[in-house]
Chain A
Amino acid sequence: METVKIIEIKQSVYESNDKEAEKLRNELKERGIFLLNLMSSPGSGKTTTLTQVITKMKDKYRIGVMEADIDSDVDARTIATLGVESIQLHTGGMCHLDADMTRQGLQELTDKSIEFAILENVGNLVCPAEFDTGSSMNAMILSVPEGDDKPLKYPLMFSICDLIIINKIDVMPYFDFDMDKCIENVRMRNKNAKIIPISAKTGEGIDELTRYLSEKIDNWRE
């Protein structure tokens, strides 16, 4: 008769990804690549915001963009018209990217001398928060129509971000969105995140955003 062995593992399901992410982060630091992991709900204006940011920053840094979507390449094509390399990562139905998928994406970028890599994560405020991608910075966009109470509903996402961009402030008069309340709600779960209100449509706040990103990129690459 075969004996059944019990093997104790006691390891978090996320642990192997966390280790892989830490390894990737260290490699990117060595290579002088700043990786921004950009997260948000669908329709918050990730691609429009990136269009503004890339237009302002592409002369200063070599930029590569990875668009993660379950299907289609509309976002990658939009970004490619800006003259920076852009690839589409199809997650095949998965709701988030992990460190392995991010590494594969970085390998697919043909420009090996990029300085600023942007990962546009799957539009989702739940799963991407659980999986460290190996990024240098976690950022998210919250748009005004989504409501100032979003930080209360998706606390993990708001607690893991270094930068929270509040987009579509141009339409604030039409929504019951209280900016002070929103910031207070963010602070309940994250005392340190940088908060920058913008309108990707009118360009308001974009200068502050690109200044902040430039400072972080330069620090990372020192």
Chain B
Amino acid sequence: MHELGVVFHIIDDVTKVGEENSLTDIQSVTLQLGTVSTVIPSYLKDCWEWAVKKTELLKNAELIIEPIEAITFCEDCKSEYDTIKYGRTCPNCGSGHTYLVQGNEFMIKEIAGS
């Protein structure tokens, strides 16, 4: 939804880390992205390709995305289920008292550079 905006945030954060570690060329940036994080991987990659070309440090950097599966927990029947398939209503007992255990992550995991 706001892929370009977040790409700028990632570039800022990674540039800071790169400079602190005296890197001159960052080759890859690895993200961990939950499947219900509202960020679409293919759009993110398109924005990334466009935005990194404008930088010196990241112009060759490949974006690697590690997906994290979305899991929801039901407070009533204490079961876990697939969020993408069933949403907020528990498929086991029909309860709406559920919360997301994982799947909305949007983390910068690591970078590789020289």
Contacts and interface: CB of A to CB of B under 8 A. Distances in A.
A7 B113 contact: yes
Contacts of A7: 17, 21, 23, 110-113
Interface in B35-59: 38
Nearest to B1: A126
B112 A4 contact: yes
Interface string B90-114: 0000001000000001111111111
Interface in A1-50: 2-14, 16-17
Given A5-B21, A11-B13, A126 B38 contact: yes
B27 A4 contact: yes
Interface residues of A, number: 27
Contacts of B21: 5, 7
Contact of B106 (A4, A12, A95, A156): A12
A34 B11 CA distance: 31
B106 A13 contact: yes
B110 A9 contact: yes
A74 interface: no
Interface string B4-45: 111001101110010001010001000100000010000000
B11 to A, nearest CB: 11
B113 A130 contact: no
Contact of B107 (A10, A16, A93, A188): A10
